[in-house]
Amino acid sequence: MTHRLSSKVMIVTGAGSGIGRASALRFAAEGATVAAFDINAETLAATIQQIHMAGGQAQPYVVDVTNADAVAASVGQVHTAHGQIDGVFNVAGGSGRRFGDGPAHECSPDGWLTTLHLNLTSTFLVCKFALEIMLPQRSGVIINLSSILGMVGHPEFATHAYAASKAGLIGLSRAMAAYYAPYHIRVNVIAPGLIKTAMSERAQQNEHILSLLPGLQPLTGSLGQPEDIAAAAAFLASDEARFITGVVLPVDGGWLTQ
C-alpha cells in the first residue's frame, strides 16, 4: 500500500457496509484517519474493528446523514477531534424501490421525495457542513458516489427517482467543483456500474440480468467489487489527483463503451 493518504482526516459515509466499508478500509490502509459515518451502529462497529485489526486509525460516528442537525454535529465532532477535515467520500444512500420508486408513471410521490432525500439531500448536507470547515483551510477534496444510471437509462433498471437523484449528484458536484476551485477544494464523482453489494442483491438473484452482464459490463462480464470503487476513490482523494476536479469517473466494467 502506498500510504498516499497519510496525515489526512477522511470522512466516509455509509461506512458500515459495501462500498463504504471497502473505502473506509482502503483509506485507512493508505494511512488516513477515517471518520466512519453510518446509521447502523452494529455494522459500523464491524468496520472499525476490521480497520483496527489491520493497524489502521478510525473512529465511528453513528449518524443519519439525512438529518441536518445530526450531520452538523458529527462533522463538528470530527473537526474538534482532529483540527482538520481533508476529505469526504459520500457513499451513503440506496435504492428507493421499497419506498415506492419505479418507472415514472408508477413511482409514488412519497417514493420520489424519499429517494431524493436519501441520495441527494444527504450528500448535500455532508458537503455543506464539511465545506464550512474546508473553506477557511483553503483545501479539501470531496468525492460523491453517483451511478452509471445517473448518466444513461436502461429499461431493466427502471427506478426513475433513483436515476434522478444520482444525476442530481453529478450536477451538484460539477457546480461545486467550479465554485470551490479557487479555494483549492476539489470535487469529483464516481459512477459505478453494477457492484456486488447488498443493494444489488435483486440483480444478483435475477438470472435475466445476470445474462445481460457480458453486454453491460464487457470488461469482466460480471459484477464489480466494492474494492474497485474504493481504489478509484483512494486515487481521487490523494494528492496524485491534485489537478483533477469536476470529473465524473465511470467505474463500470465498460458499460459506457456501448
Q: What are 212-236's pLDDT values in tens digits?
A: 889 998 999 989 999 999 999 999 9
Q: Is 162 a catalytic residue?
A: yes
Q: 253 φ, ψ to 5°? A: 65, 20
Q: How far apart are CA 148 and CA 11, in angstroms?
A: 23
In the predicted model, is pLDDT for residue 209 greater than 90? Answer: no
Q: What are 107-142's pLDDT values in tens digits?
A: 999 999 999 999 999 999 999 999 999 999 999 999
- Indicate which residue of 162, 179, 180, 183 is catalytic: 162
Burial 17-52 (b: 16+ CB within 10 A, else e): bbbbbbbbbbbbbbbbbbbbbbbeeebbeebbeebe
Contact between 67 and 74 under an 8 Å Cβ cutoff? The reply is no
- Residue 99 vs residues 111, 118, 146: alpha-carbon distances, Å: 5, 11, 19
Q: Global pTM?
A: 0.95
Instruction: Give pLDDT, residue 45.
Output: 98
Q: How far apart are CA 109 and CA 100, in angstroms?
A: 8
Which amino acid, residue 159?
Answer: T
Domains observed in the chain? 9-246 (3.40.50.720)
